[in-house]
Amino acid sequence: MPLQKPLKIAVVGATGAVGSVALKLLEARKHPADRVVALASARSDGKKLPYLNREITVHESRPDMFEGVDVAFVSVSATVSKLLQPEITKRGALMIDDGSAFRMRADVPLVVPEINGADIEWHRGIISIPNCTTTPLAMVLDALRRVSPVKRVTVATYQAVSGTGAAAQAELIEQSKDVLGGRPARPAVYPHQIAFNVLPQVDDFEADGYTKEEHKMVNETRKILHEPDLPLSATCVRVPVQISHSEAVQVEFERAVSPDEAREALAGYVGISVVDDPARRVYPMPHQAAGRDDVFVGRIRKDLSHPNGLALWFSCDNLRKGAALNALQILDEAVRRGSLKPTGQ
């Protein structure tokens, strides 16, 4: 029998914050360069990117670039995703989309493989990955609900600038240099200075006073956990950190749950590491989570405001488990389940 060729994988947005990490992850798996199609906007057409001791060329995301592609990892804006989707689907490739374009559509699975990998089986050509703040929160809640059903969640996020993309990462560096050099910061990506500041706004505001990001956290968490009525309230905050989002979470359970029970459940969950020894000043920090795959959880303690409540803190690399790694794991899971093609094809 002839050996099966490795999948042909298109990385759309290959020059961006998420796409470049997707390429790094493919490189770490030694996925052959001739089975990788690096795509971006017309601006990047012809640009060379290092890959497995050689270079691969970035092409403009023209429709014909998806010919023969098995899987497209798409990390571009929602508008561009929507434009490219019919071209990708028409050519029979599975689209794994990092953006918000399709996440809440009833016919699109929104997947974190550790939680709802089985949802992959009913895809119709598109699988979405959640927002980078949602994925680690949903994993932590999934681990904890095995101890006792979750009744209510409140969360405040501390989100790194890479969550906005490569331009925001550059803006933080430039502003930091300007401020340290005694020059005024010049905000462009964000509405205010981000260097030496925090912004209690991630994405645009809605009429109810919450931001779109906060609504995404609520709606996406409910969809992934299959708990459509889970009470959850979020405050999303941008902080001057390059990589890794952190979150301070209060969880109310059906019954009292001890910190030790929670630690045991979290430590036993694939993709979560407990880092919790406050007496020795050991707790998760974004600096240490960056470049790593797990959700790091600590500061696990009783919530003083509720007998059935716990409070905790976690950090997670938003570009890895929050985006590119989750997308690759979805592909692995689709292959494992024989679900690369939509059901019925």
Q: Shortest distance, CB of residue 217 to ligand NAP, whole angstroms? A: 12
Binding residues for ligand NAP, rule CB under 6 A, total 30
Considering the complex, state which of residue 311 and residue 323 has its C-beta at the smaller distance from ligand NAP. 323
Marked catalytic residue, from 31, 59, 123, 245: 245
* Residue 115 makes contact with ligand NAP by CB under 6 A: no
Distance in angstroms (rounded) separating the CA atoms of residues 130 and 324: 11
CB closer to ligand NAP out of 274 and 319: 319
C-alpha torsion sign, points 243, 166, 16, 27: negative
Respond yes or no: is residue 236 known to be catalytic: no
Please identify which residue in 77, 89, 176, 250 interacts with ligand NAP, judged by CB under 6 A.
Answer: 77
Q: Which of 59, 132, 236, 316 is catalytic?
A: 132
Adjacency order of strands within the sheet including 48-51: 48-51, 54-60, 36-40, 9-12, 71-74, 94-97, 126-128
Query: Which of 132, 195, 249, 325 touches ligand NAP by CB under 6 A?
Result: 132
CB nearer ligand NAP, residue 64 or residue 260: 64
Query: Which secondary structure element, helix H or strand E, spans residue 9, and what is its range?
Result: strand 9-12
Tell me which of 113, 136, 165, 298 binds ligand NAP, using CB under 6 A: 165
- Give CA separation, 101 vs 32, 79, 127, 132, 268, in Å: 30, 7, 11, 14, 33
Task: Rule CB under 6 A: say whether 319 interacts with ligand NAP.
Answer: yes
Q: Which of these ranges, 2-10, 72-80, 149-157, 329-337, lies near ligand NAP under the rule CB under 6 A?
A: 72-80
Report the Cα–Cα distance between both ends of the chain, in Å, rounded. Answer: 23
99 sits near ligand NAP (criterion: CB under 6 A): yes
The piece of 157-165, 230-238, 250-258, 279-287 that touches ligand NAP (CB under 6 A) is: 157-165
DSSP 63: G
> CB under 8 Å, gap of 24 or more: what pairs does 223-226 form?
223/103, 223/104, 223/110, 224/110, 224/111, 224/112, 224/115, 224/116, 224/130, 224/134, 224/138, 225/115, 225/116, 225/138, 225/141, 225/142, 225/145, 226/116
Q: What 3-state class would DSSP assign to 119? A: helix
Build a one-symbol-per-residue string for 5-44: x at contacts with ligand NAP by CB under 6 A, - elsewhere. Answer: --------xxxxxxx--------------------xx-xx
Please return the burial class of 197, using the count of CB atoms within 10 Å of its CB with bins 0-12, 13-18 and 19+: middle
Q: Which is nearer to ligand NAP, 77 or 308 (CB)?
A: 77
3-state DSSP assignment of residue 137: helix
- 322 is a site residue for ligand NAP (CB under 6 A): yes
Position 162 contacts ligand NAP (CB under 6 A): yes
133 binding ligand NAP? (CB under 6 A)? no
Alpha-carbon distance values, 345 to 77, 91, 331 (Å): 29, 13, 17
Q: Is 109 in the site for ligand NAP (CB under 6 A)?
A: no
Letters for 209-238 (x = contact with ligand NAP by CB under 6 A, - = none) are ------------------------------
- Respond yes or no: is residue 132 known to be catalytic: yes
Interface residues with ligand NAP (CB under 6 A) are: 13-19, 40-41, 43-44, 61, 75-78, 80, 98-100, 132, 162-163, 165-167, 318-319, 322-323
Q: Which residues are catalytic?
A: 132, 245
